[in-house]
């Protein structure tokens, strides 16, 4: 639109509060040919990551709103999954 050759690339983001549970989703959470990684949180909270060809393409967070803030930044930077850090890192911010 402004004469720049930059493609429009936005990820779909959704959130909802269901009683005391915050649910957030971004990108492709059901990749047809991808992998799923699960990061367990406290109590019933967790973050589920979707990865296709080593690239983070989506996530759904149940009770982990801080994870979503970091996931959005990781996805915007084109984060490549090299190991199990998404599920084992004590702090996702270290992946930025």
pLDDT more than 90, % of the chain: 79
Confidence check: pLDDT of 5 > 90: no
Q: What is the mean pLDDT of residues 42-50?
A: 95
Domain extent listing, the chain? 13-87
Widest CA span of the chain, in angstroms? 50
Give the count of alpha carbons within 13 A of 16, CB side only. Answer: 5
**What is residue 8's predicted lDDT score, i.e. its pLDDT?**
62
**What is residue 67's predicted lDDT score, i.e. its pLDDT?**
96
Higher pLDDT, 31 or 40: 40
Query: What is 13-87's CATH number?
Result: 3.30.390.30
Q: What is the pTM of this model?
A: 0.86
């Amino acid at each position: 639109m402004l004469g720049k050759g930059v493609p429009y690339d936005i990820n779909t983001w959704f959130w909802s509060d269901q009683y005391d549970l915050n649910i957030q989703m971004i990108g492709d959470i059901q990749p047809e040919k991808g992998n799923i990684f699960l990061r367990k949180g406290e109590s019933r909270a967790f973050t589920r990551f979707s990865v296709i060809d080593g690239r983070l393409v989506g996530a759904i967070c149940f009770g982990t709103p801080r994870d979503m803030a970091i996931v959005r930044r990781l996805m915007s930077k084109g984060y490549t999954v090299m190991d199990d850090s998404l599920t084992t890192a004590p702090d996702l911010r270290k992946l930025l």
